[in-house]
């Protein structure tokens, strides 16, 4: 089987420097909040053109932290797509709020701004929940329609989160999602475009007060600079807790790994775009290949095509030792824990996409000859099954 994502090819490219970086942390003893954490957060700010960046325990916690900071909870509605990884919607019940599911656009699989506005109106008219925020997802690596989403959020007084776990590094008209969103969150799970060697995540933001709150919430609501202004303390402020937070620190070792990986990330994004272009040329006339929104640059977390005989294609590929995967076979609003939450007007585009999508091997180190084998296998399947 060829790899679906080849993390070992990347490791070989990074060479001994990567393992040295890990060993350096082991030898230093600074396993938690070591100097590599601040160094990595500075590198993230530079890369993401963000005034503030906070590393945290995972992409899921990166979504929880801003919801906590904005005191979103029981009685509040947060709008999101259902065609996404569970974590996008899971964080609402985690803080006591309700997800409200919105359909996606058929070409990008990202949240449909017109349907979003209709869903906000529907929730307001029903009068049971208070709209507070929108979580847009950069699904499979490409940016959501942030100019339209930001305008809607401004009109209705809602916060806008860019869940960029799959899309970190993507741009629209040359700008990162944070240009329009209040915060961008990402995940460093190993299989994401920018991954570490375990779990990790980050929140990028623009507002100093919000950053202060996130810093506090990341470590059990501990007192931060703004809490201590004008206070004289007779004990260590480390153990002064100002609010209920949690433990969401990222390990120093993961920051050391990410510093190495971030240094080649731009180059990897270019390589991913070359791989995607080659798939497009080889497959565009036989299956529905992905369309990137005008002015957008995807980081290609997945290369996802659509076909009516997905199971047949997957079996054929398996026979040729080519792996494939389905993201996502069952949209969230149809899964038991989420079926109780509103999905105003239904989600026909989401449900149709979930029946047809299949993702192909995609990573920055996919060699042209291997890729041509994949393309040929798909073309042969389509020819045989017309
Ligand atoms: C992976 C993912 C997350 C969660 O990230 P973890 O680091 O696994 O917690 C959230 N949203 C989306 C869209 C994801 O793909």
Co-location of 240 and 275 in the same domain: no
Co-location of 211 and 359 in the same domain: no
Among residues 262, 279, 303, the one where a domain terminates is: 262
Beta strands 76-81 and 201-205 are unpaired
User: Cβ(217)–Cβ(65) under 8 Å?
Assistant: yes
Q: Which protein residue has the closest C-alpha to ligand 1 atom 10?
A: 87
Helical packing angle, 310-319 and 368-385, nearest 10°: 130
Could you tell me how many residues make up the chain? 386
Co-location of 58 and 197 in the same domain: yes
User: Cβ(97)–Cβ(136) under 8 Å?
Assistant: no
Q: What is the mean pLDDT of residues 144-170?
A: 98
Q: What is the mean pLDDT of residues 62-90?
A: 98
Co-location of 303 and 158 in the same domain: no
Q: What is the pTM of this model?
A: 0.97
Co-location of 40 and 53 in the same domain: yes
- Give a three-class secondary structure readout of the chain: CCCCCCHHHHHHHHCHHHHHHHHHHHHHCCCECCHHHHHHHHHHHHHHCCCEEEEECCHHHHHHHHHHHCCCCCCEEEEEECCCCCHHHHHHHHCCCEEEEECECCCCCCECHHHHHHHHHHHHHHCCCEEEEEEEECHHHCCCCHHHHHHHHHHHCCEEEEECCCCCCCEECCECHHHCCCEEEEECCCCCCCCCCCCCEEEEECCHHHHHHHHHHHECCECCHHHHCCCCCCCCHHHCECCCCCECCCEHHHHHHHHHHHHCHHHHHHHHHHHHHHHHHHHCCCCECCCCCCCEECCCCCEEEECCCHHHHHHHHHHCCCCCECCCCCCHHHCHHHCCCCCCCCCHHHHHHHHHEEEECCCCCCCHHHHHHHHHHHHHHHHHHC
For residue 237, name the pLDDT band (cuts at 50, 70, 90). Answer: confident
Co-location of 212 and 285 in the same domain: no
Helical packing angle, 7-14 and 252-263, nearest 10°: 80
Co-location of 186 and 55 in the same domain: yes
Could you tell me how far CA 296 lies from the centroid of its own chain? 16
pLDDT of residue 229: 85
- Report the alpha-carbon distance of residue 84 to residue 317 in Å, rounded: 24
Co-location of 230 and 359 in the same domain: no
- Closest-CA residue to 380 (of 320, 297, 300): 320
Q: For residue 166, give the ligand 1 atom closest to its CA.
A: 15
Look up the CATH number of the domain holding residue 36: 3.40.640.10
Tell me, in angstroms, the distance from the centre of ligand 1 to residue 280's CA. 26
Radius of gyration from C-alpha coordinates of the chain: 22
Tell me, in angstroms, the distance from the centre of ligand 1 to residue 49's CA. 21
- Report the alpha-carbon distance of residue 99 to residue 81 in Å, rounded: 9
On whether residue 193 sits in a domain, the answer given is yes
User: Cβ(252)–Cβ(36) under 8 Å?
Assistant: yes
pLDDT tens, 265-305? 999 999 999 999 999 999 999 999 999 999 999 999 999 99
Tell me, in angstroms, the distance from the centre of ligand 1 to residue 327's CA. 13
pLDDT of residue 238: 80
On whether residue 1 sits in a domain, the answer given is no
Q: For residue 60, give the ligand 1 atom closest to its CA.
A: 9
On whether residue 176 sits in a domain, the answer given is yes
pLDDT of residue 125: 98
Tell me, in angstroms, the distance from the centre of ligand 1 to residue 86's CA. 8
Written as six digits, the tokens of 142 are 């490409």
Q: For the chain, how many structural domains are there in total?
A: 2
pLDDT of residue 232: 82
Q: What is the mean pLDDT of the chain?
A: 97
Q: What is the mean pLDDT of residues 93-112?
A: 98
On whether residue 2 sits in a domain, the answer given is no
pLDDT of residue 230: 84
Written as six digits, the tokens of 227 are 């809490």
Ligand 1 site-directed mutation target among 60, 92, 162, most atoms within 8 Å of CB: 60
Ligand 1 contacts CB of residue 163 (under 6 A): yes
Ligand 1 contacts CB of residue 252 (under 6 A): no
User: Cβ(2)–Cβ(372) under 8 Å?
Assistant: no
Ligand 1 contacts CB of residue 187 (under 6 A): yes
pLDDT of residue 100: 98
Among residues 217, 244, 262, the one where a domain terminates is: 262
Map tokens 């040359």 to a residue. Answer: 174
Residues forming a β-bridge with 321: none
For residue 61, name the pLDDT band (cuts at 50, 70, 90). Answer: very high
Indicate if the pLDDT at residue 386 is higher than 80.
no
Tell me, in angstroms, the distance from the centre of ligand 1 to residue 333's CA. 17
Co-location of 94 and 170 in the same domain: yes
For residue 226, name the pLDDT band (cuts at 50, 70, 90). Answer: confident
Map tokens 């994949």 to a residue. Answer: 374
Co-location of 43 and 157 in the same domain: yes
Q: What is the mean pLDDT of residues 246-258?
A: 98
Co-location of 105 and 162 in the same domain: yes
User: Cβ(111)–Cβ(149) under 8 Å?
Assistant: yes
Among residues 234, 262, 290, the one where a domain terminates is: 262
Written as six digits, the tokens of 48 are 């993401």
Look up the CATH number of the domain holding residue 280: 3.90.1150.10
296: which residues sit within 8 A by CB, 6+ positions away? 142, 143, 170, 171, 172
Count of alpha carbons within 13 angstroms of residue 350, beta-carbon side = 24
Domain that holds residue 162: 7-262
Co-location of 227 and 340 in the same domain: no
């Amino acid at each position: 089987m060829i790899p679906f994502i080849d993390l070992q090819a990347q490791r070989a490219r990074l060479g001994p420097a990567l393992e040295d970086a890990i060993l350096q942390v082991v030898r230093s003893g600074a396993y938690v909040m070591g100097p590599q954490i601040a160094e990595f957060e500075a590198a993230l700010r530079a890369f993401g053109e963000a005034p503030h960046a906070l590393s945290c325990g995972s992409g899921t916690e990166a979504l929880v932290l801003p919801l906590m900071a904005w005191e979103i909870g029981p009685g509040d509605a947060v709008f999101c797509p259902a065609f996404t990884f569970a974590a996008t919607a899971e964080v609402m019940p985690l803080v006591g709020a309700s997800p409200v599911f919105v359909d996606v656009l058929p070409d990008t699989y990202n949240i449909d701004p017109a349907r979003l506005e209709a869903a906000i109106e529907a929730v307001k008219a029903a009068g049971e929940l208070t709209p507070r925020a929108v979580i847009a997802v950069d699904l499979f690596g490409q940016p959501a329609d942030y100019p339209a989403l930001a305008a809607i959020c401004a009109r209705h007084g809602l916060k806008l989160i860019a869940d960029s776990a799959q899309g970190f590094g993507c741009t629209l008209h040359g700008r990162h999602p944070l240009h329009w969103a209040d915060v961008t969150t990402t995940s460093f799970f190993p299989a994401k475009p920018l991954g570490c060697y375990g779990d990790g995540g980050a929140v990028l933001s623009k507002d100093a007060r919000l950053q202060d709150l996130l810093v506090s919430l990341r470590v059990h609501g501990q007192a931060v600079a703004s809490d201590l202004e004008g206070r004289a303390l007779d004990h260590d402020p480390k153990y002064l807790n100002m609010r209920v937070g949690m433990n969401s620190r990222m390990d120093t070792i993961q920051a050391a790994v990410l510093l190495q990986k971030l240094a080649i990330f731009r180059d990897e994004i270019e390589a991913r775009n070359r791989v995607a272009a080659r798939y497009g040329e080889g497959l565009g006339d036989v299956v529905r290949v992905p369309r990137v929104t005008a002015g957008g640059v995807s980081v290609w977390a997945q290369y996802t095509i659509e076909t009516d005989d997905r199971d047949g294609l997957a079996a054929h590929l398996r026979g040729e030792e080519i792996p494939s995967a389905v993201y996502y076979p069952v949209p969230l609003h149809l899964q038991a824990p989420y079926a109780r939450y509103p999905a105003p007007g239904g989600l026909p585009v989401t449900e149709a996409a979930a029946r047809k999508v299949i993702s192909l091997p995609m990573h920055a180190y996919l060699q042209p000859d291997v890729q041509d084998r994949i393309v040929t296998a798909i073309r042969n399947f389509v020819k045989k099954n017309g």
